[in-house]
A and B are shown apart, each in its own frame.
Chain A
Amino acid sequence: MIVEDFIDFLKGVPPFQFLTEESLKRLSSSVSMEFYPKGTMILRQDGPPSDFLRVVKKGGVKVFISTEDGEDMVIDYRSEGDSFGLLSLVGGDKSRANVLAIEDTICYVIEKDTIMQLVDMSPAFTEYFLKSFLSKYIDKTYKEMHNKSLLYGGGDKLLFTTPVGEVATKEVVTAPQDITIKEAADIMSRKRCSSLVLTDADGVPTGIFTDRDIRDKVLSKGRNPQEKVSSVMSVSLIRIEARDYCFEALLKMIRFSIHHLLVVDGGRLKGILTNHDLMMMQGTSPISVAREIEGQQTIDGLAPVAGKINRIVGLLLKEGARASNIARIITEINDRLLRRILEIAEKQLGPPPVDYCWIIFGSEGRKEQTFKTDQDNAIIFADPASDEEEKRITEYFAAFAALVRDSLAKCGFPLCPADYMASNPQWRQPLKVWKRYFSNWIYTPTPDAVLKSLIFFDFRAVHGNFALAESLRDSLHAMLDGQMIFLGYMANTIIKNVPPVGFFKSLIVEKSGEHKDEMNIKVKGVAPFVDMMRLFSLEKGLRETSTLERIEALKSRHTIVKEYADELEHAFEFIMLLRMQHQFEQIELGLEPDNFINPNSLSNLEKKTIKEAFNLIAKMQGIIMERYKPLIW
């Protein structure tokens, strides 16, 4: 009788009403009933996943999400006949939202296993949940959250908002179905893919062979690798539309217990989606992205991976990571990306005719880039033995540098407006020419030469023969030794950059123009620290290029830095973080990131901290002025 009541109730409630009598009976074999007094938090966001689907019998609940800034955002109200807990039940990792009883509420509670069986067996049932839950989540969670809390994000949101086409592996490796298991494995190994789509004579896909099949159907079963692959391939090819959301793909994988989906667009095979792709997307972790970079064979494969770097910054910011740590991680990833591009270019154009070293400078050289910065790179190659050889080398590197430039652009690194790129013949030169450049700048410090040295002297080797870069650095330090005039020029540029603090300690902003009421945090905040630490490091002949590493190294060698090391580190970290947050917010809003911050948008604490940073800059400038007095004009 109690059970009959339950079944009668479900018969009036979608999607249960679509179920057969038999399915309803099965449901009732694992159902219980719970009572939640008004005010009970039934599920907690980020708490343990729900092990039950709850159907409201009586009362009502509020589904809401607590945003980063502590505000609650209501996603939905659910009342009699509505259910909740499905997403975390299927996801199995954690609860996506808070569910609060807003009245005394009674729920039918159905066990996870029973629901999963229904998901497997009843397409109408699953479809209903997909549509009702997903559309609500996508419409509300994404849009409102996007506007409200910029830093909120992470894997969950992506799962609900990213179309399959965006994360699917574009390149589908296919082979005729009459090859052997061994041949199939060879192809997969060579192409570094986890799945192979087999086709018939007309090129129509007939089956799929995966890494898992090799393990489960071949090796563990002791099959002969000379057998036809068609004898072990999976013939159930499950498709998904490229425009479908990833969550639907995940459900399909769960439902059919498979790890690969064929992605189709307009009836045509567009790619392949693996659970690995979904995991990568969900856990946009630095490590997974780094690994993913290593696995790419083509520039086209690298480009979408590179697109994830900004997401990583967002996640790290959200987690409250320090600016220096974020910059370190991003540097590591960008370096790997760059190396991979260089390796691909070398493969494409053949091995370079002579040793070379790819160097990067500017913020990349200092390991301080955050969001995709302009390309700043150059090639140092070994001095050629003859003019004839030089001609051959020049031709090779011309093509090489152009290819790398275009590849980097494809991966989202804009060209350098000042053309400080290896694709510019001026910046791909033999070691001896580089040494000449440096000596010219140092011995004839024109304003242009000083500007170039500020940029180039922070160079760092990333690929090739590092000895070339080391040799150049040795020469640089030898040339600078005792060159007080050149260092004086550098000191002058530092002192000319006056901190934007007014007489009454107000922050000085732009008075007019596009950035009225804003200030340039890069010029006024980041640059003074970078320039001062560069000057001190060159004074002392230190090889470090990153500002924080320079502070660390100078602590024991430089009297000024020794005294102010902690303040310098904190101030620099703070300003970097401020800049990163500002740029990330812009990216989230779909704007080009810039360096202009409106001080009014800062909290009082931030304002106070930034003023302290400017005071520190002013103090250091005073000390530098004192030291370089005869050279300051």
Chain B
Amino acid sequence: MANGTDGNRKISATRFAVIDTELTGLDGKRDAIISVGAVRMTGGRIEISESFYRLVNPEKELKAPGVVIHEITSEDLLQKPGIDEVMAEFQGFFGADVIVGYCVEIDMEFLNREMKRIFGASIQNPVIDIYPLYEWARSRSFYEERTTSMPGRAKLYDIARYYDIAVNGAHNSLVDAFITAQIFQRLIPGLTAAGITDVGELIRLSNRLKGGDRQGISSGISNF
């Protein structure tokens, strides 16, 4: 049975695969996955020794902006295994874990496209997006006295900086997955304090608040 199907499982006892992908662009039809990175978490604990990082050999030339950000050139990638091989390995890594990411829908879109193409089925694991969870925490923080306010419409690194998580140095999908994991780690105590201790509730909260919709957030709050 998949990990996530047991909604009563405590967050603290749940295995998560915190993922990130690097893409040649955001066009779901034409762009491709350059790299896949992931870190395992058990509850709030980041299992540093259990990480996953693969560069993918794409069939297309890299677009210029991605090259700048990620310092990856086509030359590097041509030496690497193809997407089919990487996806198989990646599936082995996340197994039945609950998948966690930042604005994870776009990652899932690309991953599922490949999964369907290779294995004929998309990923069935429950998925949690930390962006709406962050927005949820931010909306609650309005009622608290804080020295610095949580930034709105925040990008991953803005959130990371708010939490004092190191974001300097080279970035790739593994480092970003690690940053995402650390943000998730920071969010868990607040969620626990609000009574969200089962992973099922966490998944529901993430789904309901998807997209950072203000209405959704306020209706979410009234439930807790």
Which residues in A have some Cβ–Cβ distance to B below 8 Å? 1-3, 6, 28-35, 37, 40, 58, 104, 108-109
Q: Quick check: B48 and A35 within 8 Å, CB to CB?
A: no
| 18 A-B contacts (beta carbon < 8 Å) | A1-B53, A1-B172, A1-B175, A2-B48, A3-B48, A3-B51, A29-B49, A31-B48, A31-B49, A32-B42, A32-B47, A33-B45, A33-B46, A34-B45, A35-B44, A35-B189, A104-B164, A108-B48
| Contact partners of B164 in chain A: CB under 8 A | 58, 104
1/0 per position for B110-124, CB-CB distance to A under 8 A? 000000000000000
CB of B33 within 8 Å of the partner chain: no
Contacts of B182 in A (CB 8 A): 33, 35
The answer to whether the Cβ of B134 comes within 8 Å of any Cβ in the partner chain is: no
Tell me which residues across on chain B come within 8 A of A104, comparing CB atoms: 164, 186
Minimum C-beta distance from A61 to chain B (A):
16
CA distance A411 to B186 in the complex (A): 60
Q: Which residues of A contact B47 (CB under 8 A)?
A: 32
B102 at the interface (CB under 8 A from A): no
The residue of chain B having its C-beta at the shortest distance from the C-beta of A33 within the complex is: B46
Q: Which of B26-42 contact A (CB under 8 A)?
A: 39, 42
- In the complex, which residues 182-217 of chain B have their Cβ closer than 8 Å to any Cβ of chain A? 182, 185-186, 188-189
For chain B, what secondary structure do more than half of its interface residues adopt (helix, strand, loop), or is it mixed? mixed
Residues of B within 8 A of A29 (CB): 49
Please indicate the chain A residues that have their CB under 8 angstroms from the CB of B189 in the complex: 35, 37, 40
Q: B178 on the interface (CB 8 Å rule)?
A: yes
Known: A1-B174, A33-B182, A35-B186. 8 other contacts (CB 8 A): A2-B178, A3-B48, A6-B48, A29-B49, A31-B48, A33-B45, A33-B185, A40-B189
B159 to chain A, nearest CB (A): 14
Return the chain B residue nearest A37 by Cβ: B189
Interface size, chain B (Cβ < 8 Å): 20
- Residues of A close to B45: CB separation below 8 A: 32-34, 109
Of B48, B172, B174, B178, the residue contacting A32 (CB under 8 A) is: B48
- Residues of chain B contacted by A109 (CB below 8 angstroms): 45
Closest 6 CB pairs of A and B: A33-B46, A35-B185, A37-B189, A32-B45, A32-B47, A31-B48
**Chain B residues near A35 (CB-CB < 8 A):** 44, 182, 185-186, 188-189
Per-residue CB contact flags for chain B residues 143-186 toward chain A (1 = under 8 Å, else 0) read 00000000000000000000010000000101100100010011
C-alpha spacing A336/B39, complex, angstroms: 63
Task: Please indicate the chain A residues that have their CB under 8 angstroms from the CB of B46 in the complex.
Answer: 32-34
**Bound: A2/B39 CA distance, A:** 9
Residue of A nearest to B187 (CB): A35
Cβ of A30 and Cβ of B49 under 8 Å apart? yes
Chain B CB within 10 Å — which of A2, A29, A33, A40 has the most? A2
Contacts of A108 in B (CB 8 A): 48
Per the bound structure, the CA–CA distance linking A104 and B39 in Å amounts to 22
List residues of B (1-56) whose CB comes within 8 Å of A's CBs.
Answer: 39, 42, 44-49, 51, 53
In the complex, what's the smallest C-beta–C-beta distance from B51 to chain A, in angstroms?
6
Once the chains are docked, how many angstroms separate the CA of A53 from the CA of B85? 38
Residues of A within 8 A of B39 (CB): 2
Query: Shortest CB–CB separation between residue B133 and chain A, in angstroms?
Result: 15
Residues from chain B with Cβ under 8 Å of A40 in the complex: 189
CA distance A2 to B170 in the complex (A): 12
List B contacts of A30 (CB < 8 A).
49
CB distance from B99 to the nearest CB of A (A): 18
User: A34-B44, A35-B182, A37-B189 given as contacts; is B175 within 8 A of A3 (CB)?
Assistant: no
Q: Is A33 within 8 A of B48, CB to CB?
A: yes
Provide the bound-state CA to CA distance between A29 and B174, in Å: 17
A1 to B188 alpha-carbon distance, docked (Å): 24
Contact assessment for A32 and B49 in the assembled complex, using a CB-CB cutoff below 8 Å? yes
Residues of A within 8 A of B185 (CB): 33-35
List chain A residues, Cβ under 8 A from B172.
1
Q: How far does the alpha carbon of A46 sit from the alpha carbon of B43 in the complex, in Å?
A: 25
Q: Is the CB of B49 within 8 A of A3?
A: yes
Q: How far is the CB of B50 from chain A (nearest CB, A)?
A: 8
Residue in chain A with minimal CB distance to B172: A1
Complex Cα gap A58–B186 (Å): 13
Shortest beta-carbon distance, B105 to chain A, in Å? Answer: 25
Q: Tell me the bound Cα distance from A37 to B163 in angstroms.
A: 11
Please report the C-alpha to C-alpha distance between residue A29 and residue B46 in the assembled complex, in whole angstroms: 13
